[in-house]
């Protein structure tokens, strides 16, 4: 097998992999499509930069070794994580970037020039991909698309998505090891909740990306963080008002519902909203500043007289748990906030540390959540 040209330092990292004969593999992706790919793949385009969250698990020696192109969102959407990876893997800064399918800025000619074996896309981009005819256009030039999902239905699709990527990368054993860890960590919450015969579920309002816009409030329906809340033993307030996974509720609905707990997702979004009221969360973030900004958000009219605010049951959590294989950590954190009596020995920070130690190529840094009450901040 001939090793095709690779740019930068990735060539050396993939030399050993290139000696493995690639054979046609037919798999069914998360969209239910049968796709045939020569695997293990050597050259991958990531449809979203934050997909490094899964390449880091499976290619922990160098998460960028196979990546010949990626969408230009990682540095903007999660700059603190980008900086940590860039410090250890500076060659990632040289990976060609491209625009998104949804906004029509994806460049097919650029993709062809990168000579990829496969393009991995998130499921939520499929509608835009279909509308623009990208699947057919890329198929004509020999670039298959494989869809995975950590966002639309994370608890139904994460394990299978990791299996699919494991097949593509020739890392089936590593994918299986992570899947076992993932399921064990989820079960530490769901088994306890299922065993309760008189569980009192607190009403929880999750504000999605609080402070990102001046309006209040973006939230979640039954999916994503709404599902996280239900698994952790709460009732998701947004489910009553939002028919899909993502949507909005108004201030009057929040006040009338009077939630027991409020959780606000946050990130360091200066690239999108410079100087915004968003809560900076993520590894290495300033938790004193995050706590101050969380408190400031609670002064908006939507939270006037709400019991969660009056009782100090207000929390902030890293937004990127919503679109990564690490969502089980958020479920654990929500469970310990909502039911501390049921989970006295569950330590989400210890789980995060184990995730880093066993699967990720970078060291753990705190900064993933904060609370206004007595609950510990990491």
pLDDT tens, residue by residue, 5-26: 333 444 444 444 444 567 899 9
Same domain, 255 and 354: yes
- CB contact burial 312-330 (16+ within 10 A = b; e otherwise): ebbbbbbbbbbbbbbbbbb
The structure's pTM equals 0.91
Residue 72 included in any domain? yes
Same domain, 16 and 61: yes
Alpha-carbon span 211 to 138, nearest angstrom: 38
pLDDT tens, residue by residue, 133-166: 888 989 999 999 999 999 999 999 999 999 999 9
Q: Read off the CATH number of the domain in which 311 is found.
A: 3.40.50.1980
What backbone phi and psi angles, to 5 degrees, belong to 113? Answer: -65, -20
Averaged pLDDT for residues 270-290: 96
pLDDT tens, residue by residue, 30-50: 999 999 999 999 999 999 999
Alpha-carbon span 84 to 362, nearest angstrom: 7
Alpha-carbon span 171 to 20, nearest angstrom: 12
Residue 142 included in any domain? yes
Q: Which domain holds residue 89?
A: 10-170
Asked if the peptide bond before residue 217 counts as cis, ω within 30 degrees of 0, the response is yes
Residue 192 included in any domain? no
CA angle at 375 for the pair 302 and 280, rounded to the nearest 5°: 60
pLDDT of residue 134: 85
Same domain, 221 and 156: no
Overall domain count for the chain = 2
pLDDT of residue 114: 93
Q: 347-355: long-range contacts (C-beta < 8 A, 24 or more apart)?
A: 348/378, 349/378, 351/185, 352/326, 352/378, 355/181, 355/326, 355/329
pLDDT of residue 105: 66
Same domain, 164 and 217: no
Instruction: Tell which residue, 283, 342, 313, has the closest CA to residue 53.
Output: 283
Of 53-67, 92-106, 107-121, 335-349, the one with minimum mean pLDDT is 92-106
């Amino acid at each position: 097998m001939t090793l095709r040209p690779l740019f930068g330092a990735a060539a050396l990292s993939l030399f050993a992999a290139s000696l493995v004969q690639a054979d046609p593999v037919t798999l069914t992706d998360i969209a239910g499509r049968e796709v045939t790919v020569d695997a293990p793949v050597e050259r991958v385009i990531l449809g979203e930069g934050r997909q490094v969250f899964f390449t880091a698990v499976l290619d922990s020696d160098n998460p960028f070794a196979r990546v010949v192109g990626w969408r230009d969102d990682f540095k903007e959407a999660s700059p603190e994580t980008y900086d940590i990876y860039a410090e250890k893997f500076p060659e990632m800064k040289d990976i060609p970037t491209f625009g998104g399918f949804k906004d029509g800025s994806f460049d097919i000619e650029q993709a062809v020039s990168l000579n990829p074996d496969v393009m991995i896309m998130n499921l939520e981009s499929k509608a835009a991909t279909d509308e623009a005819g990208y699947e057919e256009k890329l198929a004509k030039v020999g670039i298959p698309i494989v869809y995975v999902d950590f966002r639309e239905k994370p608890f139904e699709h994460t394990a299978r998505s990791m299996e699919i990527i494991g097949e593509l990368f020739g890392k089936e054993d590593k994918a299986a090891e992570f899947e076992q860890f993932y399921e064990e960590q989820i079960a530490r919450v769901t088994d306890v909740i299922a065993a309760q015969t008189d569980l009192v579920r607190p009403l929880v309002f999750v504000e999605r990306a609080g402070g990102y816009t001046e309006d209040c409030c973006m939230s979640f329906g039954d999916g994503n963080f709404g599902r996280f809340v239900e698994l952790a033993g709460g009732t998701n307030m947004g489910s009553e008002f939002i028919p899909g996974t993502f949507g909005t509720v108004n201030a009057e609905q929040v006040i009338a519902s009077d939630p027991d707990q409020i959780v606000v997702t946050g990130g360091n979004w200066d690239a999108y909203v410079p100087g915004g009221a968003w809560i900076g969360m993520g590894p290495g973030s300033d938790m004193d500043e995050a706590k101050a900004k969380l408190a400031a958000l609670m002064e908006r009219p939507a939270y006037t007289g709400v019991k969660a605010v009056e009782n100090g049951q207000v929390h902030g959590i890293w937004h990127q748990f919503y679109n990564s294989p690490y969502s089980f950590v958020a479920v654990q954190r929500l469970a310990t906030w909502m039911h501390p009596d049921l989970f006295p020995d569950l330590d989400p920070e210890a789980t995060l540390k184990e995730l880093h130690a066993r699967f990720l190529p970078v060291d753990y840094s705190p900064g993933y959540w904060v609370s206004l009450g007595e609950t510990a901040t990491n």
